[in-house]
């Protein structure tokens, strides 16, 4: 690899071999932290579909999520669903770092750090899947996060609002419900999964907080968050059952949480 930031990230972002992707990122990130990477902000960013060809895609409404985790198969299906969200989040963090130019250095530091943590989350979940006798790609997935990436590719404001302050915050809301669902399982892997989900929750609060900061940085009071929910209603960014404590830590106000909970599309 040469030592230019955006050209390296383009290769990593669109690499389809997962092991190669993670290895290339690790090498690149070490060089970045060592100050060996230069920035060419004139580099043109490309956009192409980035769903792994090994994955079976279904529309989000056709994905059936188990209500109970009383079998290894249903447990694996839930873990696979979260693993796919985490893998998609890797690409979202990489894409933010790659696509948006001429920003303060802290922006690139933040989103590469997010990418590294999302890789960690994916590897935890993928190891748990393998322990259950499954692997990533064994179940159908949806491309909702990829769709959000596509429609926000030309706006830092919309990318931060929709993806990193919107959809990622919904992950904060979902986490306690997944943990509660796991409580019904007697599988010996349950304590490990609960530990992984706690790590993910604490890290995702930091990720949403970064999204909050850069949304406000790019927003310049142009929109409030309900405006974003209305503009991008196809992603259902608002919901009634919020993880208020996690959202407050991530930068939301009580008033915003009340507005989101009361918002109906």
| Per-residue pLDDT at 28 | 98
| Per-residue pLDDT at 66 | 65
Pairwise CA distance, residues 89 & 171, whole Å: 11
Pairwise CA distance, residues 5 & 31, whole Å: 10
| Per-residue pLDDT at 240 | 74
Residues ≥6 apart with Cβ < 8 Å to 204: 168, 171, 172, 175, 246
- Domain positions in the chain are 1-37, 69-261
Digits of tens for pLDDT over the chain (265 positions)? 569 999 999 999 999 999 999 999 999 999 999 999 999 999 999 998 777 767 676 566 556 666 667 789 889 999 999 999 999 999 999 999 999 999 999 999 999 999 999 999 999 999 999 999 999 989 888 788 889 999 999 999 999 999 999 999 999 999 999 999 898 888 999 999 999 999 999 999 999 999 999 999 999 878 999 999 999 999 989 877 999 999 999 999 999 999 998 885 4
Q: What is the pTM of this model?
A: 0.93
| Per-residue pLDDT at 71 | 86
Class for the domain spanning 69-261? mainly alpha
Distance (Å) of CA 199 to CA 53, 239, 262: 29, 23, 29
Pairwise CA distance, residues 261 & 166, whole Å: 13
| Per-residue pLDDT at 202 | 97
């Amino acid at each position: 690899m040469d030592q230019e930031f955006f050209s390296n990230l383009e290769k990593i972002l669109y690499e389809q071999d997962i092991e190669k992707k993670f290895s290339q990122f690790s090498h690149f990130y070490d060089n970045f932290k060592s100050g060996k990477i230069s920035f060419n902000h004139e580099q043109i960013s490309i956009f192409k579909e980035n769903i792994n060809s090994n994955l079976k895609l279904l529309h989000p409404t056709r994905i059936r999520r188990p209500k109970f985790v009383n079998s290894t198969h249903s447990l694996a299906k839930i873990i696979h669903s979260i693993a796919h969200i985490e893998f998609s989040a890797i690409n979202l963090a990489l894409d933010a770092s790659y696509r948006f130019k001429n920003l303060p250095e802290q922006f690139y530091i933040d989103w590469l750090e997010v990418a590294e943590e999302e890789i960690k989350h994916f590897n935890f979940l993928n190891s748990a899947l393998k322990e259950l006798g499954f692997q990533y790609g064994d179940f159908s997935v949806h491309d909702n996060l990829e769709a959000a990436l596509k429609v926000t590719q030309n706006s830092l404001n919309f990318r931060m609002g929709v993806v990193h302050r919107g959809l990622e915050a919904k992950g904060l809301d979902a986490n306690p419900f997944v943990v509660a669902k796991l409580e019904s399982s007697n599988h010996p892997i349950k304590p490990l999964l609960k530990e992984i989900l706690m790590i993910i929750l604490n890290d995702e609060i930091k990720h949403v907080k970064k999204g909050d900061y850069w949304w406000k940085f790019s927003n310049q009071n142009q929109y409030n968050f309900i405006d974003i929910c209305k503009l991008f209603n196809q992603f259902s960014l608002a919901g009634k059952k919020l993880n208020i404590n996690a959202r407050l830590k991530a930068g939301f106000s009580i008033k915003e949480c009340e507005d989101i909970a009361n918002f109906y599309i």
